[in-house]
Structure 1
Amino acid sequence: MAQPVDPSGLGRVLSETMSALGRFTAGADGEAPPPPEGVGEAADGLVRVTAGPPGRITALTLDPRAMRLPSESLAEEIATAVNAALVDLQEKAIAAVPGQVDLTSLGEQLRRIQEDAGRQLTTFTDALVQAQDRLSGQGGR
Protein backbone atom coordinates (compact mmCIF):
# COMPACT_ATOMS: atom_id res chain seq x y z
CA MET A 1 0.00 0.00 0.00
CA ALA A 2 1.38 3.42 -0.95
CA GLN A 3 2.20 5.92 1.78
CA PRO A 4 -0.05 8.99 1.81
CA VAL A 5 1.52 12.14 0.41
CA ASP A 6 2.34 14.71 3.10
CA PRO A 7 3.74 17.75 1.27
CA SER A 8 3.47 19.97 4.34
CA GLY A 9 5.38 17.56 6.57
CA LEU A 10 2.81 18.08 9.32
CA GLY A 11 2.19 14.35 9.60
CA ARG A 12 5.86 13.83 10.39
CA VAL A 13 5.78 16.67 12.93
CA LEU A 14 2.74 15.18 14.65
CA SER A 15 4.43 11.79 14.68
CA GLU A 16 7.55 13.30 16.28
CA THR A 17 5.40 15.09 18.86
CA MET A 18 3.59 11.90 19.79
CA SER A 19 6.92 10.07 19.98
CA ALA A 20 8.34 12.72 22.32
CA LEU A 21 5.26 12.54 24.52
CA GLY A 22 5.48 8.75 24.49
CA ARG A 23 9.08 8.91 25.68
CA PHE A 24 8.01 11.36 28.36
CA THR A 25 5.32 9.06 29.73
CA ALA A 26 7.22 5.80 29.23
CA GLY A 27 10.63 6.76 30.57
CA ALA A 28 14.10 6.90 29.05
CA ASP A 29 14.26 3.30 27.87
CA GLY A 30 10.94 3.54 26.01
CA GLU A 31 9.16 1.09 28.27
CA ALA A 32 6.62 1.99 30.88
CA PRO A 33 8.09 1.56 34.34
CA PRO A 34 6.44 -1.06 36.51
CA PRO A 35 3.92 0.34 38.96
CA PRO A 36 5.30 1.01 42.42
CA GLU A 37 4.81 -1.65 45.06
CA GLY A 38 4.67 -1.13 48.81
CA VAL A 39 5.71 -3.76 51.31
CA GLY A 40 4.96 -3.90 55.03
CA GLU A 41 5.83 -6.40 57.71
CA ALA A 42 4.77 -6.97 61.29
CA ALA A 43 5.21 -9.52 64.07
CA ASP A 44 8.92 -9.78 63.38
CA GLY A 45 8.31 -10.69 59.73
CA LEU A 46 5.63 -13.30 60.37
CA VAL A 47 3.07 -11.08 58.61
CA ARG A 48 3.96 -9.62 55.22
CA VAL A 49 1.70 -7.44 53.05
CA THR A 50 2.21 -6.12 49.53
CA ALA A 51 0.21 -3.16 48.20
CA GLY A 52 -0.12 -1.76 44.68
CA PRO A 53 -1.82 1.25 43.11
CA PRO A 54 -4.29 2.69 43.76
CA GLY A 55 -3.96 1.40 47.32
CA ARG A 56 -5.01 -2.22 46.92
CA ILE A 57 -3.58 -5.10 48.87
CA THR A 58 -2.07 -7.48 46.32
CA ALA A 59 -0.64 -10.09 48.71
CA LEU A 60 -0.92 -11.12 52.35
CA THR A 61 1.51 -13.75 53.58
CA LEU A 62 1.28 -15.30 57.01
CA ASP A 63 4.07 -17.45 58.35
CA PRO A 64 2.50 -20.57 59.89
CA ARG A 65 3.92 -19.48 63.27
CA ALA A 66 1.70 -16.36 63.08
CA MET A 67 -1.32 -18.61 63.44
CA ARG A 68 -0.25 -19.30 67.04
CA LEU A 69 -0.96 -15.67 67.96
CA PRO A 70 -4.26 -14.85 69.66
CA SER A 71 -6.82 -13.68 67.07
CA GLU A 72 -6.86 -10.06 68.37
CA SER A 73 -3.07 -9.88 68.22
CA LEU A 74 -3.00 -11.40 64.72
CA ALA A 75 -5.59 -8.88 63.52
CA GLU A 76 -3.52 -6.00 64.97
CA GLU A 77 -0.34 -7.31 63.33
CA ILE A 78 -2.12 -7.63 59.97
CA ALA A 79 -3.43 -4.06 60.29
CA THR A 80 0.07 -2.85 61.16
CA ALA A 81 1.57 -4.60 58.12
CA VAL A 82 -1.19 -3.28 55.82
CA ASN A 83 -0.65 0.30 57.01
CA ALA A 84 3.12 -0.05 56.60
CA ALA A 85 2.66 -1.37 53.05
CA LEU A 86 0.36 1.54 52.14
CA VAL A 87 2.83 4.09 53.56
CA ASP A 88 5.66 2.41 51.61
CA LEU A 89 3.54 2.47 48.44
CA GLN A 90 2.76 6.15 48.89
CA GLU A 91 6.42 7.04 49.44
CA LYS A 92 7.52 5.06 46.38
CA ALA A 93 4.79 6.58 44.20
CA ILE A 94 5.82 10.11 45.20
CA ALA A 95 9.53 9.35 44.75
CA ALA A 96 8.98 7.81 41.30
CA VAL A 97 7.47 10.93 39.74
CA PRO A 98 10.40 13.41 39.85
CA GLY A 99 12.94 10.84 38.64
CA GLN A 100 10.84 9.93 35.60
CA VAL A 101 9.88 13.44 34.55
CA ASP A 102 12.48 15.46 32.69
CA LEU A 103 10.47 18.52 31.72
CA THR A 104 13.55 20.38 30.48
CA SER A 105 14.35 17.66 27.96
CA LEU A 106 10.74 17.31 26.85
CA GLY A 107 10.38 21.08 26.52
CA GLU A 108 13.53 21.27 24.38
CA GLN A 109 12.31 18.46 22.12
CA LEU A 110 8.90 20.07 21.69
CA ARG A 111 10.51 23.49 21.02
CA ARG A 112 12.63 21.97 18.21
CA ILE A 113 9.56 20.24 16.78
CA GLN A 114 7.62 23.52 16.91
CA GLU A 115 10.40 25.42 15.12
CA ASP A 116 10.65 22.70 12.48
CA ALA A 117 6.88 22.73 12.00
CA GLY A 118 6.90 26.51 11.61
CA ARG A 119 9.60 26.34 8.91
CA GLN A 120 7.78 23.57 7.08
CA LEU A 121 4.45 25.42 7.21
CA THR A 122 6.10 28.58 5.86
CA THR A 123 7.70 26.60 3.02
CA PHE A 124 4.39 24.91 2.23
CA THR A 125 2.49 28.23 2.29
CA ASP A 126 5.09 29.86 0.02
CA ALA A 127 4.76 26.96 -2.42
CA LEU A 128 0.99 27.37 -2.47
CA VAL A 129 1.29 31.12 -3.12
CA GLN A 130 3.77 30.49 -5.96
CA ALA A 131 1.48 27.85 -7.46
CA GLN A 132 -1.46 30.23 -7.25
CA ASP A 133 0.58 32.98 -8.91
CA ARG A 134 1.58 30.60 -11.74
CA LEU A 135 -2.04 29.51 -12.21
CA SER A 136 -3.18 33.14 -12.26
CA GLY A 137 -0.53 33.94 -14.86
CA GLN A 138 -1.64 31.05 -17.10
CA GLY A 139 -5.30 32.07 -16.99
CA GLY A 140 -4.58 35.42 -18.61
CA ARG A 141 -3.04 33.92 -21.77
Structure 2
Amino acid sequence: MTVSPDPSGITRMLADVTAALGSLQAPAADTPPAEHVPIEGAGAALDGAIVATAAMPGRVTSLVFRPTVMRMDSATLAEETMTAVNAALADLQARAAGAGRPSFEALSGQLREIQDSASRQFSAFTEALADAQQRIAERGGR
Protein backbone atom coordinates (compact mmCIF):
# COMPACT_ATOMS: atom_id res chain seq x y z
CA MET A 1 0.00 0.00 0.00
CA THR A 2 1.45 3.33 -1.01
CA VAL A 3 0.61 6.20 1.29
CA SER A 4 1.68 9.74 0.63
CA PRO A 5 1.98 11.34 4.06
CA ASP A 6 1.08 14.96 4.45
CA PRO A 7 4.43 16.70 4.88
CA SER A 8 2.81 19.46 6.92
CA GLY A 9 1.08 17.02 9.27
CA ILE A 10 3.71 17.21 11.98
CA THR A 11 3.74 21.00 11.86
CA ARG A 12 -0.05 21.05 12.11
CA MET A 13 -0.01 18.71 15.11
CA LEU A 14 2.59 20.83 16.89
CA ALA A 15 0.47 23.89 16.17
CA ASP A 16 -2.55 22.06 17.65
CA VAL A 17 -0.60 21.27 20.82
CA THR A 18 0.56 24.86 21.12
CA ALA A 19 -2.98 26.13 20.60
CA ALA A 20 -4.37 23.71 23.19
CA LEU A 21 -1.81 24.82 25.76
CA GLY A 22 -2.34 28.47 24.84
CA SER A 23 -6.04 28.10 25.56
CA LEU A 24 -5.13 27.66 29.22
CA GLN A 25 -3.57 31.11 29.33
CA ALA A 26 -5.73 33.22 27.03
CA PRO A 27 -9.46 33.80 27.39
CA ALA A 28 -11.58 32.10 24.77
CA ALA A 29 -12.28 34.18 21.66
CA ASP A 30 -16.01 33.80 22.21
CA THR A 31 -15.80 35.00 25.83
CA PRO A 32 -17.69 38.27 26.18
CA PRO A 33 -15.54 41.28 27.17
CA ALA A 34 -17.57 41.68 30.37
CA GLU A 35 -15.95 38.51 31.67
CA HIS A 36 -12.49 40.02 31.26
CA VAL A 37 -13.17 42.50 34.05
CA PRO A 38 -10.71 42.08 36.92
CA ILE A 39 -12.03 39.98 39.78
CA GLU A 40 -13.01 41.91 42.90
CA GLY A 41 -14.20 40.85 46.31
CA ALA A 42 -16.44 42.83 48.63
CA GLY A 43 -17.03 42.73 52.35
CA ALA A 44 -19.00 44.75 54.87
CA ALA A 45 -19.35 45.24 58.59
CA LEU A 46 -21.88 46.94 60.83
CA ASP A 47 -24.75 46.32 58.41
CA GLY A 48 -22.93 48.04 55.56
CA ALA A 49 -21.65 51.01 57.54
CA ILE A 50 -18.13 49.90 56.58
CA VAL A 51 -17.60 48.50 53.07
CA ALA A 52 -14.30 47.19 51.68
CA THR A 53 -13.37 45.95 48.22
CA ALA A 54 -10.27 44.01 47.24
CA ALA A 55 -8.67 43.01 43.93
CA MET A 56 -5.92 40.67 42.86
CA PRO A 57 -3.33 39.94 44.10
CA GLY A 58 -4.98 40.66 47.44
CA ARG A 59 -4.97 44.46 47.66
CA VAL A 60 -7.65 46.58 49.27
CA THR A 61 -8.96 48.88 46.53
CA SER A 62 -11.52 50.85 48.49
CA LEU A 63 -12.69 51.38 52.02
CA VAL A 64 -15.90 53.34 52.61
CA PHE A 65 -17.20 54.53 55.99
CA ARG A 66 -20.62 55.96 56.68
CA PRO A 67 -20.27 59.13 58.72
CA THR A 68 -21.90 57.46 61.74
CA VAL A 69 -18.94 55.10 62.30
CA MET A 70 -16.64 58.06 62.93
CA ARG A 71 -18.30 58.48 66.34
CA MET A 72 -17.16 54.99 67.41
CA ASP A 73 -14.20 54.41 69.67
CA SER A 74 -10.99 53.65 67.76
CA ALA A 75 -10.69 50.03 68.95
CA THR A 76 -14.20 49.12 67.74
CA LEU A 77 -13.69 51.02 64.49
CA ALA A 78 -10.42 49.15 63.86
CA GLU A 79 -12.02 45.78 64.68
CA GLU A 80 -15.03 46.36 62.41
CA THR A 81 -12.78 47.67 59.62
CA MET A 82 -10.69 44.53 59.90
CA THR A 83 -13.89 42.44 59.67
CA ALA A 84 -14.95 44.20 56.45
CA VAL A 85 -11.46 43.92 54.91
CA ASN A 86 -11.14 40.24 55.79
CA ALA A 87 -14.58 39.57 54.33
CA ALA A 88 -13.56 41.34 51.11
CA LEU A 89 -10.35 39.31 50.89
CA ALA A 90 -12.24 36.06 51.54
CA ASP A 91 -14.77 36.97 48.83
CA LEU A 92 -11.92 37.78 46.44
CA GLN A 93 -10.25 34.46 47.17
CA ALA A 94 -13.50 32.55 46.56
CA ARG A 95 -14.17 34.38 43.29
CA ALA A 96 -10.59 33.91 42.06
CA ALA A 97 -10.69 30.20 42.84
CA GLY A 98 -13.80 29.71 40.71
CA ALA A 99 -12.93 32.04 37.84
CA GLY A 100 -10.93 31.12 34.81
CA ARG A 101 -10.05 27.60 35.87
CA PRO A 102 -8.72 25.74 32.88
CA SER A 103 -10.47 22.53 31.98
CA PHE A 104 -7.71 19.96 32.23
CA GLU A 105 -10.15 17.25 31.17
CA ALA A 106 -10.82 19.10 27.92
CA LEU A 107 -7.12 19.73 27.38
CA SER A 108 -6.33 16.10 28.08
CA GLY A 109 -8.90 15.02 25.48
CA GLN A 110 -7.49 17.44 22.91
CA LEU A 111 -3.95 16.21 23.53
CA ARG A 112 -5.11 12.58 23.27
CA GLU A 113 -6.69 13.33 19.88
CA ILE A 114 -3.49 15.04 18.73
CA GLN A 115 -1.44 12.07 19.94
CA ASP A 116 -3.69 9.62 18.05
CA SER A 117 -3.43 11.76 14.93
CA ALA A 118 0.36 11.93 15.25
CA SER A 119 0.52 8.16 15.67
CA ARG A 120 -1.49 7.64 12.48
CA GLN A 121 0.66 10.18 10.62
CA PHE A 122 3.92 8.53 11.74
CA SER A 123 2.56 5.10 10.78
CA ALA A 124 1.66 6.40 7.33
CA PHE A 125 5.08 8.01 6.98
CA THR A 126 6.88 4.82 8.06
CA GLU A 127 4.78 2.75 5.69
CA ALA A 128 5.55 5.14 2.81
CA LEU A 129 9.27 4.88 3.58
CA ALA A 130 9.05 1.06 3.68
CA ASP A 131 7.20 1.07 0.33
CA ALA A 132 9.84 3.33 -1.19
CA GLN A 133 12.61 1.11 0.14
CA GLN A 134 10.83 -1.94 -1.27
CA ARG A 135 10.52 -0.32 -4.73
CA ILE A 136 14.21 0.64 -4.69
CA ALA A 137 15.17 -2.91 -3.71
CA GLU A 138 12.96 -4.34 -6.50
CA ARG A 139 14.72 -2.15 -9.07
CA GLY A 140 18.07 -3.48 -7.93
CA GLY A 141 19.10 -0.34 -6.11
CA ARG A 142 18.85 1.88 -9.17
TM over 0.5: yes
64, 76, 82: which one pairs with 1:61?
64
- State the shift of 1:63 in Å: 3.4
Deviation string for 1:22-64 (max 9, x for gaps)?
A: 3345466555855532211113223211122332222223334
Distance 1:48 1:129 in 2: 73
User: How well do the aligned residues superpose, as a CA RMSD in angstroms?
Assistant: 3.2
Distance 2:94 2:137 in 1: 68
- State the shift of 1:92 in Å: 2.2
Give the secondary-structure state (helix, strand or coil) at the position aligned to 1:120: helix
- Equivalent pairs counted in the alignment come to 134
- Cα pair distance change 1:33/1:126, threshold 3 Å: farther
Distance 1:71 1:78 in 2: 10
Instruction: Give the number of the structure with larger relative contact order, counting CA–CA contacts within 8 Å between residues 6 or more apart.
Output: 2
Letter of the 1:55 partner, please give it. Answer: G
Letter of the 1:95 partner, please give it. Answer: G
Corresponding residue for residue 21 of structure 2: 21
Q: TM-score, normalised by structure 2?
A: 0.69
Letter of the 2:120 partner, please give it. Answer: R
Q: TM-score, normalised by structure 1?
A: 0.69
Distance 1:114 1:62 in 2: 58
Structure 2, unaligned runs of 5 or more: 1-5
- State the shift of 1:131 in Å: 4.1
Structure 1, unaligned runs of 5 or more: 1-5
* Percent pairwise identity: 48
Q: Does 1:84 align with 2:87?
A: yes
Residue 42 of structure 1 contacts residue 81 of structure 1 at CA under 8 Å; is this kept in 2?
A: yes
- State the shift of 1:119 in Å: 0.8
